[in-house]
Chains A and B, each alone.
Chain A
Amino acid sequence: MTRIGLIRSAVIVTMIAALELACRTGLIDHRIVIAPSEMASALVTLLASGSINADIERTLGIIAVVIALSVVLGFAVGVVIHALPHLREALDPFFATYYAVPIFIFYPVLIAIFGLSPMPIVLIGVATAIVAMIIATLNGLDRVPRVLVKVARVHRLGRVSTALRLQLPATAPYLFTGIKLSVSYAFIAVIAAEFILSPAGLGRDISDAYTDFENRRMYALILFLLIVATAVNAGLHALDMRFAERRSGGGP
């Protein structure tokens, strides 16, 4: 395991070093890609200057709102749909198709309706992220062992306490998968929306830097977003691992 980790680090370091070398020797034109060390130093200068603090706050704030709305509403909608088998049967083909159609192309329509405010970005983000949470909730509820439901009935648990004390813990792994997907969809949709058309935000900054040929600024911003997204994904993955360990470690 550690040997594989070592090889993986070596592979990544080698690739970065190769890029660095290719940029330094002029094999790759600095007008196209700048050296990784330059990207990092540009990012440090940019962060120290504080000039992007407002955009960081705005973009990460919108992403947080999108995640919160998608997870909470998605879970609630999932529970309701699961309780209505007829509605669910009718909706199943739509769920199967939802991520196959490019929902994102509705973003310009939302701008036309709501104007250039954070509202269309939040809506396109929730529209992209919420369905993953609904599907994960339905999947989880489907797999609650029937014996648990019987136990709840034997103990005469009410509907709400069955949901909270039994269904929620039993579906937790599926819900967590839904949360992970929602987080990743939220990042993609919000940044794509800002990138294509938005009055402010990190996506807009990147797009501006691109049009102004400010490569150092552009690469610094891209690096920043990639670091944040990777850190969030890695954090969720670590949490997932810990939950899985606890479940298999003879927990309740």
Chain B
Amino acid sequence: MTATRRALDTLAILLAILAIWEVLHRVAGETALPAPAETLSYLIRTVPTARFAENAAATAAAFGLALILAYGIGLAIGIWMGAHRLSGAVGEPILVSLYSLPKITLYPVVLLIFGLGLSAKVAFGAMHGILPVALLTMGAIRAIPPVYLRAARTLHLSPWQTITTVLLPAALPEVFTGLRIGFTVTLLGVLLGEMFASKAGLGYMIMNAMSLAQSKEMVAVAIVLFGFAALANALLLWIEHRLHQRV
């Protein structure tokens, strides 16, 4: 009952967005912002093409690799700084200030180090993702009640058993929040990389469409990316919610 009402509310807002889009289209004109209906039909025609598939595959490859790096390095830093109090106290403010820096300024440096191509995009995406994963993992491990560890000691658990049966399950919901945010910012990092200097990927497609004044393609690719990110986020939020309930 409430679920259907909520779905209807959400639908109403989506319709409102479409209406605003249509009005903007009438004001701005065809070349600047295409009409919603035309753009959506263009989207349906474009997505199955080989050109779109190639660019989507390029973005997916860069994003996948960047995500593996961001999760691996972020978790390692987070566990280390969460378990070792002194490292955490020394490192946390450094990580926090790095997190709030506009990392886009460092992209030329990444390009100089890695050259144009896949590895620069991967490195830039991972740079974005490592910090939130590390910070939230550190917080999660620190927040584990000491009584859990005492219980583990009383039960004579080995260090490995302590990690797998006590530390990880207790910290998992918070760690997962970090992984979800890491997912989002890594995707943004990869797309920014593609927008600035790249010859493949969905970010490149958008910039290319802009220079050719193909606004339909620009908006269509943006909508595909929005849809992907929103669906992935909803799935991750759902898992996160389940993890929090379980604890």
A: residues with CB less than 8 A from B are 4, 7-8, 11-12, 31-33, 86, 89-91, 93-94, 96-97, 99-102, 104-106, 108-109, 111-113, 184, 187-188, 191-192, 195-197, 203, 206-207, 209-210, 215, 218-219, 222, 225-226, 229-230, 233-234
Interface of chain A: mostly helix, strand, loop or mixed: helix
Find the B residue at minimum CB distance from A195.
B104
In the complex with contacts A86-B9, A105-B203, A195-B209 CB distance below 8 A: no
State the Cβ distance, B80 to closest chain A Cβ, in Å.
14
Q: Does B6 contact A (CB under 8 A)?
A: yes
**Which residues of B174-196 are within 8 A (CB) of A?**
184, 187-188, 191-192, 195-196
B209–A108 contact, CB under 8 A?
yes
In the complex with contacts A4-B86, A104-B191, A233-B97 CB distance below 8 A: yes
Of all A-B residue pairs in the complex, the 8 with the closest CB atoms, nearest first, are A90-B9, A100-B233, A108-B210, A210-B108, A101-B229, A192-B104, A113-B32, A188-B102
Query: What separation, in Å, do the CA atoms of A109 and B91 have in the docked complex?
Result: 40
B28–A113 contact, CB under 8 A?
yes
In the complex with contacts A97-B234, A101-B225, A233-B100, A11-B13 CB distance below 8 A: no
- By a CB distance below 8 angstroms, the chain A residues around B91 are 8, 11
Query: What separation, in Å, do the CA atoms of A112 and B209 have in the docked complex?
Result: 10
Q: Does B213 contact A (CB under 8 A)?
A: yes
Find the A residue at minimum CB distance from B222.
A105
Task: Give a binary string over B93-107; 1 marks a CB under 8 Å from any A CB, 0 the rest.
Answer: 110010011111111
- By a CB distance below 8 angstroms, the chain B residues around A89 are 6, 9
Find the A residue at minimum CB distance from B187.
A102
B89–A4 contact, CB under 8 A?
yes
The listed residue (A112, A187, A197) touching B215 by CB distance below 8 A is A112
Of the listed stretches B40-48, B109-117, B146-154, name the one at the interface; the rest are far from the partner chain.
B109-117
Query: What separation, in Å, do the CA atoms of A102 and B104 have in the docked complex?
Result: 14
A90–B104 contact, CB under 8 A?
no
Task: Give a binary string over B217-247; 1 marks a CB under 8 Å from any A CB, 0 the rest.
Answer: 0110110011001101110010000000000
A93–B10 contact, CB under 8 A?
yes
